[in-house]
Amino acid sequence: MPELTSRLFELYGKRWNFYRILDKLADILQKAGKEYQEPDADCDTEWYLSEQQAGYVLYVDLFAENFNGLIKKIPYLQGLGITYVHLMPLFKCPEKESDGGYAVSSYRETDPKLGTISDLKTALKEFHRAGIRVVVDFVFNHTSDEHTWALKAKQGSQFYRNFYFIYKDKSDADDWNRTLREIFPEVRRGSFTYVKEAGGWVWTTFNPFQWDLNYSNPDVFLAMCAEMLSLANLGVDVLRLDALAFIWKKKNTCCENLPEAHTLIQAFQYAARIAAPGLVFKSEAIVHPDEVTRYIGPEECRLSYNPLQMALFWEALAARDTRLLQSSLKKRWAIPGGCAWVNYIRCHDDIGWTFSDEDAGKLGINGYSHRQFLNKFYTDRFDGSFARGVPFQLNPKTGDCRICGTMASLAGLEDAYELHKKQDPRAELYAEMAVKRIIMIYTVLAALPGIPLIYSGDENAMINDYSYQVDKSRKDDSRWVHRIPFNKTAVSDSWLSARQTQITAAIRKIIRCRKTEKLFGHAGIYFHNLQDSHVFGFTRFLDHECIHVVADFSEQNCLYKIGDRTLHLGPYDVITLKESI
Ligand code: GLC
């Protein structure tokens, strides 16, 4: 409580009625705390550091239609070795467009297409019974424009207008816009949307129907705290803090990663620690790597996506050059004790090139041109590229964009398949390389400290689905190219399905192997000094044992020295070598 109070004092202490804020908060905590079910006393509070963990992220409707279908698919997930499932937004949202559910209209009602709150609770119980922890999104930067608060704001309630940023005068919006980065520039320029019913310009960092909340108003913190605890009381284990870099706004700043954003997250965290102590926060900060780590720690998020590892895996694959990967992870891997990275290669979102320009500069790589190269490479506009990706949010002002596509399409399987259909003799070799590339990436992922996360469908190496381009509500959001109904992953073409089956079997085996090796769990890591710019190498160590992991990110044969041993790596080979120390 002293920690919580001090964070709130920093944010709201100048208000004459500060004591009233604490009073209201105490009520919220007490009420929620009574409903909270403590996790088992003997449960490992640092479970996420174990080699037993393997993660999976899915949209309920795409994966299993609804909560009942989801329960039926638990054995499938168990078979894959999954122990952590992120169920993407489940709550009521606008019917027409909802940013895949990331525009929440009520945190207390589920999307009726998926089932009821009680169905969801049943599914959560079933997951727990199967030894799988559940992650749910806390979309707290914005609500949908159909949330009761937004509806009341549109009707003129001043109390609820103060929940958002609504300006009658365009110049007020322009004033903010001057220093803001455009997040969805294809949707609209600037970060404000004129909303007629609201009689003004509304702050909408993402889509026009996602209204940013104004946390400088303590009533917003109180209201969202109650919503957060209601999610905890459904029985979820982890809350994924969506778009957390944007939650505090201050004039003349870029309004990302502000110190007050950290204070606010700490306030939420301490509130959760009082009323729902088993709850773990996971950060979704897809920003500069210096900023990503600032959200990680026992006071904020104990788990975090690892966007640097993700982006640099793709970067190294395109460049056939591991220098930036090796040096950046060496420099930036460390995070506070008791915290873990969630390592991934694909998720439901785009790939942004969030490496540090300073790190790249030290290697003589120009960040801007390198991003231009990567964008070309992954959208098949670079000679010899194996990737079939689609650009996302091309910024006409900067030429910048991000990349969409499934793991298999970005790693070359779709390209090989297209060649096969044209009876091009190169198809076999290209497919072989794509399969090896994919298996190498998952092997390395599973050997890193933290939770390896699989994006649903990638375990079956599904390739891009371009049907979103003819769907009116989706055609402008290319992320739908990799948001595909799970049953669509079964293809009728035997050439493709043979390769996909090979990848599925390999991924299952990788997860099984990870679980049999303690050194892939709580053990330490050090990244090797670079020997060969095609090879990425690190060592995990614990007590008197260590395991070296060495991976070739290219089609070249390479030699690599570990002590006095020389390892021979073929294209995309991974070698692990265990030793006593
Ligand atoms: C997060 C989600 C993304 C969504 C955005 C706005 O980045 O992962 O899908 O568009 O937040 O909620």
- pLDDT band (50, 70, 90) for residue 37: confident
Tell me if 327 sits within 8 A of 359, measured CB to CB: yes
Least confident range from 121-130, 167-176, 181-190, 329-338: namely 181-190
Contacts with 298 (C-beta within 8 Å, 6 or more apart), sequence order: 336, 338, 339
Question: What is the bridge-based pairing of β-strands 55-58 and 133-138?
Answer: unpaired
| Cα gap 141→285, rounded to integer Å | 12
Distance 350 CA to ligand 1 centre (A): 10
Q: Whose CA is nearest to atom 12 of ligand 1?
A: 102
Q: What is the pLDDT of residue 398?
A: 79
| Cα gap 247→138, rounded to integer Å | 12
Q: What is the pLDDT of residue 397?
A: 78
Length of the chain: 581
Distance 207 CA to ligand 1 centre (A): 10
Q: For ligand 1, what atom is nearest to the CA of residue 141?
A: 12
Tell me if 465 sits within 8 A of 479, measured CB to CB: no
Among 242, 282, 393, the mutation site with the greatest number of ligand 1 atoms within 8 A of its Cβ is 242
First to last CA, the chain: 46
| Mean pLDDT computed over 261-287 | 97
Distance 361 CA to ligand 1 centre (A): 30
| Cα gap 18→364, rounded to integer Å | 53
Q: Is 188 exposed, middle or buried (0-12, 13-18, 19+ CB in 10 A)?
A: middle
Which residues is 296 bridged to in the sheet? Answer: 301
Tell me if 94 sits within 8 A of 209, measured CB to CB: yes
| Cα gap 458→489, rounded to integer Å | 9
For residue 299, CA distances in Å to 7, 243, 267, 294 come to 11, 18, 9, 11
Q: What is the pLDDT of residue 399?
A: 75
Q: What is the pLDDT of residue 488?
A: 81
Q: Which two tokens stand for residue 517?
A: 């090796």
Q: List strands edge to edge, sheet with 524-527.
A: 524-527, 535-542, 545-552, 574-580
Contacts with 403 (C-beta within 8 Å, 6 or more apart), sequence order: 314, 350, 351, 374, 375, 378, 379, 389, 390, 391, 392, 410
Rg of the chain (C-alpha set): 24
Is the model's pLDDT at 185 over the cut of 90? no
- pLDDT band (50, 70, 90) for residue 38: confident
| Cα gap 337→170, rounded to integer Å | 47
| Cα gap 66→61, rounded to integer Å | 5
From the list 256, 284, 299, 300, the catalytic residue is 284
Q: Render pLDDT for 194-233 as a digit per residue (tens, 0 to 9).
A: 999 999 999 999 999 999 999 999 999 999 999 999 999 9
pTM more than 0.85: yes
Give the Cβ contact number of residue 42 at 10 Å: 5
Q: Which of 456, 343, 292 is nearest to 53 (CA)?
A: 343
| Mean pLDDT computed over 274-293 | 97
Question: Locate tokens 């952590």: which residue?
Answer: 84
Q: Is 335 exposed, middle or buried (0-12, 13-18, 19+ CB in 10 A)?
A: buried
- pLDDT band (50, 70, 90) for residue 489: low
Q: What is the pLDDT of residue 312?
A: 98
Among 206, 207, 393, the mutation site with the greatest number of ligand 1 atoms within 8 A of its Cβ is 206
| Cα gap 159→166, rounded to integer Å | 12
Q: Which two tokens stand for residue 471?
A: 């769907």
Q: Residue 136: left (phi > 0), alpha (psi -120 to 50), or beta?
A: beta
| Cα gap 551→288, rounded to integer Å | 26
| Cα gap 215→249, rounded to integer Å | 8
Q: For ligand 1, what atom is nearest to the CA of residue 103?
A: 12
